[in-house]
Amino acid sequence: MNSAAIQKLRAKLARDECVYGLWITLDAASIAEMAVFMGLDWIVLDAEHGHMDWGDLVGHLRAAVRSDTVVIIRVAELNIGLIKRALDIGADGVIIPWMETAEQVRQAVAFANFPPGGLRGIGAERATFWGTRSAEHVAEAASNVLVIPLIESVRGGANIEAMLDVPGVDLFWFGPADYSSTAGYAGQWEGPGVAEAIGAAKDKIRARGKHCGVIATSNENLLQRREQGFRLLAIGSDTGLLMRSARAALAAVGRDGGGSSVAPAATKLSAGAAAVVPLSRPPEAMRPDRSEQIGRVGEGPKLEVAPGIVFEALVGSHNTARRLTTGLVTLVPGAVLPYHTHTFDETITLLEGDGAVEVEGRRYHLAPTDNVTVPRGVAHSSMNLSSERPALLHIALSTDTPTRELVENKFTLQHMPDDSHGKIGAEHVARCRAAPVYRAGWDTAFVDYLNSDLLPGIALSGGYGLFQPGARLPAHLHDFDESICIVEGTATCFVEGRKYMLGDRATAMVPRGRVHYFINETDKPMAMIWVYAGPLPERIVVEERCATMADVAWPAAAASGSQSTAGSSKTAAKKSSAPTAASATPARR
């Protein structure tokens, strides 16, 4: 046990200073040596989800011996054998996952301490210098051992006050991903309301003079967490930092990269996803006349389209979009949107809850991220099948001036099979988890919801994109407006030198001709729903600097278009009369 390092760490925390560390999952002890060399205050060796066995853990411990870096082992569960063994081989403390009650915390403290206050047995291992200094180790462990409960569930957050009453615990850790899962948002890093719940628990911990930690998902998030009051801050995980750094280096030299996509279904490379030689700059004929707009939830125009059903527009005429409206529809429990038709196409994706879409009586029960596309003139309805929880839909319309005509429901109800893909010549249903997957960029997995190949005559195209940590698209532009809604994680968007951080279903409207790309700079997956105001997913790939540097894509000397301010919600719209460049060959996405 490194008592001196533990005391230094606690002294910093007593002064309300941050202590920075690294989350280690790989077996190479050189990683711990690097952490020590960089002067990190602590490291966590992840023995719950990482790659390491007990021999690997000992290697990391030896790499940090006689340093000022505290070594903590995350054990796999609340288990006296695991906790005792982690401390016997020399760990300075343990993180115990899935702590939900004060009684569990009391057990963890007992398992980590010797009698008479605890239940830990004395072993002739590294911690006692092979049994030669047992008395000294027992004495120093009593006042130094770190027992850190990991709060990663709604129940754990609700019981935080009782946990704070347990003696022997002054540090806590939060796991936002599992916390989100227990809140009903599996797969999201911080689902709706989770950040607020963790923040409230953090405030209670700090009010009692104790401290808590969390893993930062990016450099920006590290600063944000520090401002929020978290004092044990992981700068990232070893694998996440390596991937982010490597992808940033490749991006700097214009490489989109390769590798296989990690996807929920069989992966295939679509015919249009093949690598293309990027243009040095976009064709002049595609010079844009509008700037990108960012629509954030709560800021868009809202309309109650039926009792208990509210539509919030995030892309549309209010932020200069052309032939495209997208947004979110919230349905209270049991709400039903009456049957209606449009003079334009509509595509509907279930994001949350228990939802269904009916098309001329054919009812499609949807799983989250499943999609139904309804051509113009076809009667349809949406509904929340739950009597207890709201449902949330993402919708897109091939118009910037939405209207509808209510129609009488004279259709015979047909419950369609869960693997049904719709009626030929009418609606198209995309089951996201079973759909063909292709790679549109480095470590991405894309699924097409709709396009004119899938549904002839449709005016929109779009789908779902999953980005693993570090994943990215090449710099590109389109011959139509685009809506990109971030439905999971946090995305970084570059548009001609301007950088945006998007999450919590924020939606970017990128107009025709604007060079942009998206990248996942976090340690967690990111996902988007993208919709184009065009029938096929086509893009023109250009050099990286066109997206990351100002005035490269569209040099001011050649300017003849808009002088609007980027990102403004009041950008003036001006029609473009320039045709699409015949010299540019679009690449399918």
Catalytic residues: 49
Q: State the Cα–Cα distance between residues 467 and 528, nearest whole angstrom.
A: 8
Give the SS3 label for residue 286.
Answer: helix
Residue 529, phi then psi, degrees to nearest 5: -110, 120
- C-alpha distance from residue 347 to each of 26, 223, 324 (Å): 43, 38, 11
DSSP string, 460-517: -EEEEEEEEEEEE--SEE-SS-EEEEEEESEEEEEETTEEEEEETT-EEEE-TT--EE
Cβ neighbours, 10 Å, residue 192: 16
Q: State the Cα–Cα distance between residues 152 and 172, nearest whole angstrom.
A: 11
Q: State the Cα–Cα distance between residues 392 and 353, nearest whole angstrom.
A: 6
Q: CB neighbours of 223 closer than 8 A, spacing ≥ 6?
A: none
CB 351 within 8 A of CB 405: no
Strand duo 414-415 + 362-365: pairing: parallel
CB 340 within 8 A of CB 331: no
Tokens representing residue 84 in the block: 């005792």
Tokens representing residue 549 in the block: 């540097």
Residue 423, amino acid: K
- H helices of 96-237, where? 102-112, 134-144, 154-158, 160-164, 176-182, 194-207, 219-228
Give the SS3 label for residue 171.
Answer: strand
Rg (alpha carbons) of the chain, rounded to whole number: 27
- Residue length, the chain? 589
Q: CB neighbours of 110 closer than 8 A, spacing ≥ 6?
A: 117, 118, 119, 120
The single residue listed with the structure tokens 């023995």 is: 47
Q: CB neighbours of 341 closer than 8 A, spacing ≥ 6?
A: 376, 377, 378, 379, 380, 404, 405, 407
- C-alpha distance from residue 453 to each of 274, 537, 588, 589 (Å): 18, 10, 12, 13
Q: At what angle do helices 134-144 and 3-14 cross, to 10 degrees?
A: 10
Q: Which H or E run includes 541?
A: strand 538-541
Burial class (CB in 10 A: 0-12, 13-18, 19+), 94: buried
